[in-house]
Structure 1
Amino acid sequence: MSSAQIDPSNPDLHSYAFESNPEPTLAWLREHDPVHWSQHGYWFVTRYEDVRAVLGDPARFSSQKAGFGANNPIGKDAKGPEGKSGKKASDAEKTMSKGLALSFNQQDPPDHSRVRKLVNQAFSRREISERADKIQAVVDALMADVKAKGEFDLITDFAFHLPIIVASDIIGIPAEDRDLFRRNFELAARLMAPKRSDEEWAEALTGAKWQSTYMGELIASRAREPRADLISALIQTSEDDQKLTGGEVASAIMTIFTAAGTTTERMISSGAFLLLTHPEQLAALRADHSLMDNVLEEILRFHHPNQSTSTNRRATQDVELGGKTIRAGDTVRVSLGSANRDAAQFDEPDAFNIQRTGTKHMSFGFGIHFCLGSALARYETKAALEALLLGPKSIELITQNPVKDPDRPDRYKEIRVRMS
């Protein structure tokens, strides 16, 4: 199905057709239905000011027990404007839901503040500065591999590896377990979207169960023999004499893996693709390397890794927004990618322009849940793009029209390039 066949008044926001080309549908929703009741049983918010209002008001839009929409069996039984209820969860699904709910990203203050304060130190600018040599060494090793190949895939041969290696090292995931951990992480992530089939859902639950068992064993191992990693630090550190529980540590690690590992890869690969398809802007960057900070912010604004939704929120009271009444208990999702293309906030929002300054994009969220991995993502992407695009060797784009990955439509499947 092409984007032209999508009914923008009732889009399937989790379909491959939408994820492959979300911008036209998001533009229609911003203009005609900015607070949209989706077919998946949640409110979908697309305008910049409305997105900011939701994310900046944790009292009325809570992260606690936010659910995943009425059509996801793990989600809260949201009823929406027509009083339609969702499905009931099985015991296994309820167990998984409880584990997901322990994440500090799914908590309100004071629990959110307590855990985030402990985690945040691992992503401070000082900590990143101290890791600079290690990060550069990973970049150099990856570049040596792709230069030897000559022709390679930006995603699987380069962008895929850098943030996963760095995030795993920070967290304390052994190198030999990275691939298996990543695979089960991606399977479990399906629990955050509507159920598509019994087979896919069973795989997601299997991935989540593997994850839970693995993290439990790893946490127990670090409790016995601490190492210089984040898992050990979270186990040992206390805040106001309150240590984190094993479940809180495990959930914090999964949140961090998302923030530091799985989104940065799309920023790197999509950013390189944008610059290679805008040669005049790449030429400007090569002529003036000081533009790199602008480049990073424009990549984030123009091509947010996930164009559709963010972490869910739950309305704690009836709220009027965009001419609609969001009822207490309803699930609300905001479109960060849509907010970044709002003409009320950005001049010529559909133009990729690295000369743009003062960009207040929403790619890292807003408010108390602002992405703690933002500085690390910028640093890694900068190092990656400098190595790929500003080095002595030239790079040529082979894949002119990449398609989204059917298994993960928030990223491209393949972007082949040639280096000489």
Structure 2
Amino acid sequence: MTATDTAAFQPDLYAYDFENDPVPTLNRLRAEDPVHWSRHGFWYLTRHADVAEVLKDPVRFSSMAAGWGGGNPLAKAGGDQSATEKGLSRTLAQSFNQMDPPEHSRIRLLAQAAFSRRNIEDRGPRIRAVIDELLDDLAPRGRFDLVGDFAFHVPMIVASEIIGIPAQDRDAFRQAFERTAALMAPKRDEESWAAALDAGRWVGRYIRDLVEARRADPREDLISDLIRAEEAGDRLSDPELRSAISTIYTAAGTTTERMLSSGLWLLLSHPDQWRALVADRTLLGGAIEEILRFHHPTQSTSTNRRATEDVVLGGRTIRAGDTIRVGLGAANRDPAVFAEPDRFDIRRRMGGPVLAFGAGPHFCIGSALVRFEARLAFEAVMDRWPDLRLVTTAPVKDPRRPDRYQEIVVALA
């Protein structure tokens, strides 16, 4: 890539201002520079067709990206990496999200049984009980925060139970896991980077110790299932197993958390559509898909891809070895696919597939669980409080975690 190839419009895709209000920037990139060479050293794609092409083609666009260029901040230090950074880079490389078939398929197949439709539906009564217990506790308050008081807890409890994280460890694990997210963005300061590295070490030790505990005393959880599969002859190394647990926790936990709070915000901020949904629950399936289309939490990044050969997209030549990231939120607002894409409409007739969960071999393993939990949560809230109203009318993203809102306060009628 040379200076003459760099577009004049160079937004900071990690800036808080961008994450807080990404639509104007994404719309401009899609219109002016849809195959964008970013200031961060990777290609950023915003058109639906280009994004889908990259996601569905693991041959020309490889997911084995952990050690490559601008896609991974941990890799940028090169030979200057600390022992902890090198260890975390190796752990990232063992995640099945960072693998191509057949290795990716092998590990994913072992994990996906926990996310089968039958398994998820069997968990329905427990998930609804978790939701109802939280809402019971919130009812006397009169008002509460959809993010911190509700959406934050439901999927973390469910994900921890699926994986096998004991109840007494849930909060500590979640807090440490969240702090590690800073390692996937450019280093802002030494203090926060050091805190994220400490959290990464803690998470690694915790998962290692939990795996060993389950080897000695198996339970009815995903960790024990993976260990049993390994002992039955399915090849799964310890690093692969530990990395798979982290990946699954993200898919089953943080993804759903953002869906619940953002989804309820969107519905309540469009009161005519909220009332229609309260009156006609058959609209709920379409509402969930429209929420997924309209609000993708992380606008700036995706799992990295690396070009394995020179590829021309949108008139730009992506060279072999270049890192690519796809804008899922931008693709879901592409006017070439979705009419009036910046309008929220639970009755929308989709013009193409919503890419919120990706596409191709890396389609999100937790997608069915996210939809199922969202349906149960939305139904529970509507059943109790059909006249729920927003107190927070202009929520902002959390500066510490700009993939979610900082606070959305609601009041009970």
Are the equivalent residues in 2 in contact too, given 1:66–1:76 (CA < 8 A)? no
**Matches of 1:291 and 1:8, distance apart in 2:** 44
Give yes or no for the alignment of 1:94 onto 2:116: no
Shift of 1:352: 0.1
Structure 1: segments with no counterpart, 5+ residues: 1-6, 78-85
Change (3 A) 1:43 1:417: same
2:3 match: none
Please give the residue correspondences for 1:342-357 in structure 2 after superposition, counting only pairs within 5 Å: 342-357=334-349
Are the equivalent residues in 2 in contact too, given 1:35–1:322 (CA < 8 A)? yes
1:177 match: 169
1:22 match: 22
Q: Secondary structure at the match of 2:405?
A: coil
Report Cα offsets for 1:293-342 as digits up to 9, x if no partner: 00000000000122222111111111111111111111110000000000
**Matches of 2:69 and 2:38, distance apart in 1:** 9
Give yes or no for the alignment of 1:113 onto 2:112: no
Larger fraction in helix: 2
- One-letter identity of the residue aligned with 1:405: D
**From 390, 408, 413, the counterpart of 1:415:** 408
Q: Secondary structure at the match of 1:243?
A: coil
Are the equivalent residues in 2 in contact too, given 1:71–1:194 (CA < 8 A)? no
Per the normalisation by structure 1, the TM-score is: 0.93
**Matches of 1:210 and 1:68, distance apart in 2:** 25
- One-letter identity of the residue aligned with 2:314: G
- One-letter identity of the residue aligned with 1:363: A
Report Cα offsets for 1:242-271 as digits up to 9, x if no partner: 331111111001001111100111111111
Please give the residue correspondences for 1:10-89 in structure 2 after superposition, counting only pairs within 5 Å: 10-67=10-67, 69-70=69-70, 73-75=73-75, 88-89=80-81
Per the normalisation by structure 2, the TM-score is: 0.95
1:311 match: 303
2:389 match: 396
**Matches of 2:231 and 2:41, distance apart in 1:** 38
**From 187, 195, 201, the counterpart of 1:209:** 201
Please give the residue correspondences for 1:123-134 in structure 2 after superposition, counting only pairs within 5 Å: 123-134=115-126
Please give the residue correspondences for 1:360-399 in structure 2 after superposition, counting only pairs within 5 Å: 360-391=353-384, 394-399=387-392
Structure 2: segments with no counterpart, 5+ residues: 1-6
Change (3 A) 1:8 1:356: farther
- One-letter identity of the residue aligned with 2:374: T
Change (3 A) 1:388 1:69: farther
Q: Secondary structure at the match of 2:411?
A: strand
Percent identity of paired positions between Structure 1 and Structure 2: 57
Shift of 1:71: 8.0
**Matches of 1:142 and 1:253, distance apart in 2:** 26
- One-letter identity of the residue aligned with 2:258: R
Change (3 A) 1:302 1:73: closer
Q: Secondary structure at the match of 1:50?
A: helix
Are the equivalent residues in 2 in contact too, given 1:152–1:418 (CA < 8 A)? yes
**Matches of 1:231 and 1:111, distance apart in 2:** 19
Are the equivalent residues in 2 in contact too, given 1:99–1:247 (CA < 8 A)? yes
Are the equivalent residues in 2 in contact too, given 1:405–1:411 (CA < 8 A)? yes
CA RMSD across the alignment: 1.8
- One-letter identity of the residue aligned with 1:375: A
Shift of 1:390: 3.8
